[in-house]
């Protein structure tokens, strides 16, 4: 992926997290069922949370490190 | 061994001693080694987890017991901000590094034109807003001590007889002492406190392991996750059934997300204490993971507590009381230390952050105003003053927290108190986002927005928390001030359908943002605001492309005096010596360059904040105002230049395209021009030959009197023949040019082309006989109706056949005429058995005046216009005339005409009347 696409993906990932944690989407998981005794909405919130952490770790590795780029452009400026 | 209050207090003090040691070692470590372990991204992440206070440690369990999953929003909000670190936090860190921002008040004041009023406003409001949060910590620590004291008969020990308030005061006093010792040992250059951060990181580990230990204990005691949940469900404890995902869910998540940016201590650890931007990368997932780990056991602890603890126990204290009730005193002590850790780390950092704000934005400006004399002093004066100001503000902050606690102590739950603080600091969010992303946000609008937001917050969120202790507040809550029911704090403008928290968040942030935006639209920025706005946006976009806000002249002596007052003699001396070394001058004769002044300002800002540093330096640097205007202009011009150059780029691309088209057109024009010249010269040449003959013979006739009758008759007949040739040449030229210009109009009507072909063959019969050429009629179509003019078609066919006869150089010359109908086309072919047309001439055979080598050699040499005219005529009948490529023997011309019934009925003559060149263009 190009630099711009990666950044767009990171933005989408963040916004996806926001939407997934707010009603109406979160209400989808509000039904009376239990997984291993735990209500399904609780499982949903924690699993989504874990996915967000894993995704954030991936993005933290692949998002461009533009410090060098920055220094480069600064050097060129008079 | 029985746990007593004395024992846990002693343990707490010992623990504080350990923290102090860690901080001391941490400071020494970084001083000696420039980094190392303490500057690792994980220590950074652990220090950010100061976000998890005793609200998390104790309060989250309470919230889970009361309202189920709602507690997770407090951690999900920050999770979202951190996974989106690239967009907000990264900018904040970069800008703050670049501008040496020391606090959130400094950030806002710096962005909005180094505005002192805004800095003061933000500082005061932050101190007020944080008071409930501090109170929460005091309450948690007090409750935890009481819980231990109440757990056994002799538990109270020496605090026997102390009431809650007294205990809380003791805790507050202890904390104040501890924080002063901890946080105000020195005024650091960048306000980075590596020792404190080390201690905070240790506390983060302690509280996490303590909470996980309690969680594991609960899982063990409760017989596993499924058992705990099932038993709770059997007892009718269904946290599932509460109204979880409503307006409150959204409001708390928004508040938590803004708190992770706006809380002074979070800003301190995340932004100010950040020593490397890449640490944020690690924290972006590690901090959410930390919070996830903290939250994992909250629900099981809450449910297990609700099912096993006696009715009426405080769910906020389950983390502590569950191990106590099970007789696990070691675990209970660990849990107490964990809770104590989370409270102390919050109080230490929050008061350090706030005290920096108070000293930089209130105390130092006041001092600057009242100490107009620039007496050199010993350099320690300002530093001592700053330190004392910070100590005083720590006392003040803890005192405010304690006051809030004692006024509202009847409220039982921890979390709602914290949310009041969150809603308060969230009022900075619109201004911060505007600072990062909106160039046109103005200071006046920011001040107005924050003020309005705070008034609404104070009215609808802060004030109601006193309802239990003040009858007057309760009355206002019930009926509104002076009976104005539309001003009831929790139903402003009659909006009473929302949860009180969501109500306060909605109105305060909505009005805050509206005022900020509308205000910025109708007010204008000052020069300095303009500059700072540009710097903030440029830092985020291209790194630091900052201009120098202060340019002008100042003497090195003046600058040194200012630097010494703030930084102390040694650091000021080092700074100047470094400058002297770089410029290669003796340090007493330094010419302060704008860069140097700017660096000095940033150094000063690291100690006393941007606004104060600016004020201090403006006192000694002259010409600052003019250069500001200049800089503003420069910033504007740069911006305009960028936009301009983009526009230019677009325009030049268009120009390039146009130029290319022009070039093509020009090339065509030149070609046409050349053709015209060639045509003219050929015409002259063709006309000249017969003219020369005519002239020569008539001259002979005129000059020679003795010519006999026969000779003169021969001459006259030659003249006649030549003038006929001339006339026919001119006729042809006229005909061709008329054809080309579309002036020859004839009526096309359906004719039988076969008849015309027969007629043409008859006409050429005589010529064929004369040349002893055999004319063979090959396979023929019987009838071919085409739309054409019979005379013109005949002209073409005669031309083709006579050419074939005339230029046939074979021994037994033969001309074959064939015709056929192929689909919708009528095809005539005239072929001869001569030597044909050489390959290199084929391309030019239809050119005007082109006769080919054969043609020139024969006595029949025409003007070379027959074929071009024929081609034009056929083209106007919508047909084609071509030389059949590659014949084995001789040449073969083929005329193709569309059959009449297949012709399109429309555009009959219109198209035909157009000149050939034009038709080419329309079909192209």
Question: Tens of pLDDT along B164-204?
Answer: 788 888 889 988 888 888 777 665 544 567 788 888 899 99
- What pLDDT score does B423 carry? 94
Question: Which residues in chain A touch residue B246, judged by CB atoms under 8 angstroms apart?
Answer: 23
Return the residue of A nearest to B232 by Cα: A37
Pair B692, B585 in one domain: no
Question: Which residues in chain A touch residue B87, judged by CB atoms under 8 angstroms apart?
Answer: 10-11, 14
- Asked whether the beta carbons of B419 and B132 are under 8 A apart, the reply is no
Q: Taking 90 as the threshold, does the pLDDT of residue B253 lie above it?
A: yes
Q: What is the mean pLDDT of chain B?
A: 82
Pair B664, B788 in one domain: no
In this prediction, what percent of chain B has a pLDDT beyond 70? 86
- What pLDDT score does B753 carry? 86
Rounded to two decimals, the ipTM of the complex is: 0.90
- What pLDDT score does B380 carry? 59
The shortest C-alpha distance from B135 to chain A (Å) reads: 30
CATH number of the domain bearing residue B719: 1.10.287.130
Pair B753, B733 in one domain: no
- What pLDDT score does B153 carry? 61
Residue to test with chain B: of A7, A10, A42, most B Cβ within 10 A: A42
Q: Taking 90 as the threshold, does the pLDDT of residue B236 lie above it?
A: no
Question: Which residues in chain B touch residue A46, judged by CB atoms under 8 angstroms apart?
Answer: 72, 292, 295-296
Residue B495 lies in a domain: no
Pair B707, B782 in one domain: no
Residue to test with chain B: of A60, A62, A73, A75, most B Cβ within 10 A: A60
Residue B597 lies in a domain: yes
Quick check: A14 and B84 CB within 8 A? yes
- Asked whether the beta carbons of B453 and B487 are under 8 A apart, the reply is no
Dihedral of CA atoms B526, B530, B531, B536 in degrees, nearest 10, equals: 130
Pair B690, B593 in one domain: no
In the beta sheet, which residues pair with residue B883? B893
Query: pLDDT, tens digit, for every residue of B377-415?
Result: 445 567 777 788 888 889 999 999 999 988 887 766 777
Final residue belonging to a domain, choices B713, B737, B761: B737
Query: pLDDT, tens digit, for every residue of B576-608?
Result: 888 888 877 776 667 777 777 777 877 777 777
Opening angle at CA B695, ends B690 and B700, nearest 5: 130
- What pLDDT score does B554 carry? 65
Element (H, E) at B382: helix B380-407
Q: Is B11 exposed, middle or buried (0-12, 13-18, 19+ CB in 10 A)?
A: middle
* Series of mean pLDDT values for 10-residue runs along chain A (78 residues): 86 93 85 83 92 93 68 40
- What pLDDT score does B493 carry? 86
Pair B197, B264 in one domain: yes
Kindly state the tokens that stand for B765: 């019969």
Number of domains composing chain B: 4
Q: Taking 60 as the threshold, does the pLDDT of residue B877 lie above it?
A: yes
Pair B310, B239 in one domain: yes
Residue B382 lies in a domain: no
| DSSP string across B98-112 | HHT--SHHHHHHHHT
CATH number of the domain bearing residue B246: 1.20.1740
Q: Is B740 exposed, middle or buried (0-12, 13-18, 19+ CB in 10 A)?
A: middle
The shortest C-alpha distance from A68 to chain B (Å) reads: 11
The count of CB pairs under 8 A between chains A and B is: 110
Rounded Cα distance, B102 and B109, in Å? 11
Residue B194 lies in a domain: yes
Kindly state the tokens that stand for A44: 């949903």
pLDDT band at B912 (very low <50, low <70, confident <90, very high): very low
Element (H, E) at B385: helix B380-407
Identity of the residue in B240, B288, B296 whose CB atom sits nearest the CB atom of A41: B240
Question: Which residues in chain A touch residue B229, judged by CB atoms under 8 angstroms apart?
Answer: 34, 37-39
φ/ψ of B786, rounded to 5, equals: -125, 160
Q: How far is CA B143 from the centre of its chain?
A: 49
Quick check: B245 and A34 CB within 8 A? no
Residue B298 lies in a domain: yes
- What pLDDT score does B479 carry? 82
Final residue belonging to a domain, choices B737, B762, B786: B737
Considering only CA atoms, which of B747, B887, B750, B760 is closest in space to residue B828?
B760
Query: pLDDT, tens digit, for every residue of A35-49?
Result: 888 888 889 999 999
Pair B22, B125 in one domain: yes
Residue B18 lies in a domain: yes
Residue B480 to residues B459, B466, B484, Cα–Cα distance (Å): 11, 15, 5
Greater confidence (B838 vs B610) lies with: B838
Question: Which residues in chain B touch residue A41, judged by CB atoms under 8 angstroms apart?
Answer: 69, 240, 244
Identity of the residue in A36, A63, A73 whose CB atom sits nearest the CB atom of B543: A73
Pair B335, B287 in one domain: yes
- What pLDDT score does B96 carry? 87
Final residue belonging to a domain, choices B686, B702, B737: B737
Q: How far is CA B675 from the centre of its chain?
A: 57
In the beta sheet, which residues pair with residue A38? A35
Query: pLDDT, tens digit, for every residue of B612-654?
Result: 777 777 766 654 444 555 555 555 666 677 777 888 888 888 9
Quick check: A70 and B543 CB within 8 A? yes
- In this structure, the strands spanning B880-883 and B892-898 are antiparallel
pLDDT band at B122 (very low <50, low <70, confident <90, very high): very high
- What pLDDT score does B589 carry? 67
Greater confidence (B32 vs B233) lies with: B233
Element (H, E) at B642: helix B624-703
How many residues can be counted in chain A? 78
- What pLDDT score does A69 carry? 46
Residue B532 lies in a domain: no
Pair B725, B852 in one domain: no
Q: Which of B267-281, B734-748, B771-785 has the lowest mean pLDDT?
A: B734-748
pLDDT band at B551 (very low <50, low <70, confident <90, very high): very low
pLDDT band at B376 (very low <50, low <70, confident <90, very high): very low
Kindly state the tokens that stand for B47: 């220090």
- In this structure, the strands spanning B892-898 and B749-752 are unpaired
pLDDT band at B434 (very low <50, low <70, confident <90, very high): very high
- What pLDDT score does B637 carry? 64
Q: Taking 90 as the threshold, does the pLDDT of residue B855 lie above it?
A: no
Q: Within a 10 A sphere around the Cβ of B855, how many other Cβ atoms?
A: 19
Q: Taking 50 as the threshold, does the pLDDT of residue B531 lie above it?
A: yes
Considering only CA atoms, which of B759, B749, B731, B795 is closest in space to residue B912?
B749
Return the residue of B nearest to A21 by Cα: B76
- What pLDDT score does B240 carry? 56
Q: Which of B567-571, B636-640, B697-701, B918-922 has the lowest mean pLDDT?
A: B918-922
Q: Give the residue carrying structure tokens 């509000």.
A: A30
Pair B669, B609 in one domain: no
Highest mean pLDDT among B39-43, B134-138, B511-515, B786-790: B511-515
Residue B517 lies in a domain: no
pLDDT band at B763 (very low <50, low <70, confident <90, very high): confident
Question: Which residues in chain A touch residue B79, judged by CB atoms under 8 angstroms apart?
Answer: 17, 49, 52-53
Return the residue of B nearest to A75 by Cα: B545
Q: Within a 10 A sphere around the Cβ of B435, how many other Cβ atoms?
A: 23
Pair B709, B612 in one domain: no
Q: What residues contact B566, with CB distance under 8 A and at least 6 apart?
A: B382, B383, B604, B607, B608, B613, B616
Q: Residue B571: give the domain boundaries.
A: 554-619
Rounded Cα distance, A19 and A24, in Å? 8
- Asked whether the beta carbons of B123 and B361 are under 8 A apart, the reply is yes
Those residues of chain B whose CB sits closer than 8 Å to some CB in chain A are 69, 72, 76, 79-80, 82-84, 86-87, 225-230, 233, 239-240, 244-246, 249-250, 253, 277-278, 281-282, 284-285, 288-289, 292, 295-296, 299, 542-545
């Amino acid at each position: 992926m190009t630099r711009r696409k990666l950044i767009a993906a990171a933005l989408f990932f963040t916004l996806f997290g926001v939407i997934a944690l707010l009603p109406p989407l979160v209400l989808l998981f509000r039904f009376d069922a239990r997984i291993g005794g735990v209500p399904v909405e609780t499982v949903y919130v924690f699993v989504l949370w874990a996915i967000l952490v894993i995704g954030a770790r991936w993005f933290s590795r692949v998002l461009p490190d533009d410090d060098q780029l920055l220094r480069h452009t600064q050097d060129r400026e008079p | 061994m029985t746990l007593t209050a004395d024992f846990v207090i002693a343990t707490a003090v010992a623990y504080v001693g350990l923290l102090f040691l860690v901080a001391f070692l941490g400071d020494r470590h970084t001083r000696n080694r420039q980094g190392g372990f303490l500057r690792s991204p994980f220590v950074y992440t652990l220090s950010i987890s100061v976000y998890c206070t005793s609200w998390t440690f104790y309060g989250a369990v309470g919230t889970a017991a009361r309202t189920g999953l709602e507690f997770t929003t407090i951690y999900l909000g920050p999770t979202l901000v951190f996974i989106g670190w690239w967009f907000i936090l990264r900018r904040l860190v970069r800008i703050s590094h670049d501008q040496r921002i020391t606090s959130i008040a400094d950030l806002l004041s710096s962005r909005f034109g180094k505005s002192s009023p805004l800095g003061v406003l933000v500082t005061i409001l932050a101190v007020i807003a944080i008071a409930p949060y501090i109170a929460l910590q005091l309450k948690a620590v007090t409750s935890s001590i009481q819980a231990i004291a109440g757990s056994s008969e002799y538990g109270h020990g020496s605090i026997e007889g102390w009431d809650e308030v007294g205990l809380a005061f003791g805790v507050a006093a202890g904390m104040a002492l501890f924080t002063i010792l901890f946080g105000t040992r020195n005024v650091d250059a960048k306000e980075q406190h590596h020792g404190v951060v080390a201690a905070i990181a240790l506390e983060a580990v302690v509280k996490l392991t303590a909470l996980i230990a309690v969680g594991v204990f609960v899982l063990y005691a409760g017989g596993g996750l499924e058992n705990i949940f099932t038993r709770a469900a059997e007892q009718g404890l269904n946290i599932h059934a509460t109204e979880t995902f409503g307006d409150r869910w959204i409001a708390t998540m928004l508040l938590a997300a803004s708190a992770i940016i706006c809380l002074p201590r979070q800003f301190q650890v995340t932004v100010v204490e950040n020593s490397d931007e890449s640490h944020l990368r690690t924290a972006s997932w590690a901090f959410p993971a930390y919070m996830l780990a903290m939250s994992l056991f909250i629900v099981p602890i809450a449910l297990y507590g609700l099912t096993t603890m006696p009715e009426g126990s405080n769910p906020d204290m389950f983390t502590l009381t569950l191990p106590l009730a099970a007789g696990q005193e070691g675990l209970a002590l660990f849990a107490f230390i964990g809770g104590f850790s989370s409270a102390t780390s919050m109080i230490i950092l929050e008061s350090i952050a706030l005290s920096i704000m108070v000293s930089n934005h209130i105390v130092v400006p006041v001092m600057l105003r009242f100490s107009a004399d620039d007496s050199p002093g010993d350099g320690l004066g300002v530093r001592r003053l700053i330190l004392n100001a910070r100590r005083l503000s720590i006392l003040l902050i803890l005192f405010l927290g304690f006051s809030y606690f004692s006024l509202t102590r009847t409220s039982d739950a921890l979390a709602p108190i914290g949310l009041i603080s969150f809603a308060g600091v969230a009022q900075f969010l619109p201004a911060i986002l505007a600072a990062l992303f909106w160039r046109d946000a103005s200071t006046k609008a920011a001040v107005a927005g924050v003020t309005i937001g705070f008034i609404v917050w104070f009215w609808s969120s802060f004030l109601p928390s006193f309802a239990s202790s003040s009858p007057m507040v309760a009355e206002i809550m019930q009926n509104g001030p002076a009976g104005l029911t539309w001003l009831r704090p929790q139903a402003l403008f009659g909006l009473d359908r929302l949860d009180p928290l969501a109500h306060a968040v909605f109105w305060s942030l909505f009005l805050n943002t509206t005022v900020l935006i509308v205000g910025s639209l109708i007010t204008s920025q000052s020069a300095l605001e303009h500059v700072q706005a540009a710097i903030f946006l440029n830092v985020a976009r291209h790194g630091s492309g900052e201009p120098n806000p202060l340019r002008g002249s100042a003497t090195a002596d003046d600058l040194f005096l200012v630097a010494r007052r703030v930084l102390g003699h040694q650091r000021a001396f080092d700074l100047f010596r470094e400058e002297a070394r770089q410029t290669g001058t003796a340090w007493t004769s330094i010419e302060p360059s704008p860069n140097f002044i700017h660096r000095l300002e940033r150094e000063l800002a690291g100690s006393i904040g941007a606004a104060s540093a600016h004020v201090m330096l403006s006192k000694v640097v002259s010409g600052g105002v003019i250069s500001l205007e200049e800089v503003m202009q420069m910033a504007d011009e740069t911006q305009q230049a960028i936009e301009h150059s983009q526009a230019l780029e677009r325009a030049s691309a268009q120009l390039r395209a146009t130029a290319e088209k022009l070039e093509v057109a020009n090339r065509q024009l030149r070609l046409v021009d050349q053709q015209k010249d060639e045509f003219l010269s050929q015409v002259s040449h063709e006309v000249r030959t017969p003219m020369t003959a005519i002239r020569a013979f008539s001259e002979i006739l005129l000059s020679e009197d003795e010519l006999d009758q026969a000779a003169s008759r021969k001459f006259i007949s030659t003249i006649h023949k030549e003038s006929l040739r001339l006339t026919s040449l001119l006729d042809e030229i006229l005909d061709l040019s008329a054809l080309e210009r579309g002036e020859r109009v004839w009526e096309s009507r359906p004719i039988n082309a076969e008849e015309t072909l027969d007629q043409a063959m008859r006409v050429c019969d005589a010529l064929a006989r004369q040349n002893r050429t055999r004319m063979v009629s090959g396979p023929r179509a019987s009838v071919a109706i085409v739309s054409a003019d019979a005379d013109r078609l005949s002209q073409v066919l005669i031309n083709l056949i006579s050419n074939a006869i005339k230029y046939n150089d074979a021994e037994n010359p033969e001309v074959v005429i064939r015709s056929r109908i192929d689909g919708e086309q009528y095809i005539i072919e005239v072929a001869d058995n001569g030597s044909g047309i050489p390959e290199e001439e084929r391309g030019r055979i239809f050119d005007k005046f082109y006769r080919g080598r054969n043609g020139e050699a024969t006595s029949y040499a025409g003007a070379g216009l027959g074929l071009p005219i024929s081609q034009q005529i056929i083209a106007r009948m919508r047909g084609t005339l071509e030389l059949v490529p590659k014949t084995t023997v001789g040449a073969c011309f083929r005329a193709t005409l569309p059959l009449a019934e297949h012709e399109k009925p429309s555009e009959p003559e219109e198209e035909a009347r157009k000149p050939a060149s034009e038709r080419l263009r329309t079909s192209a």
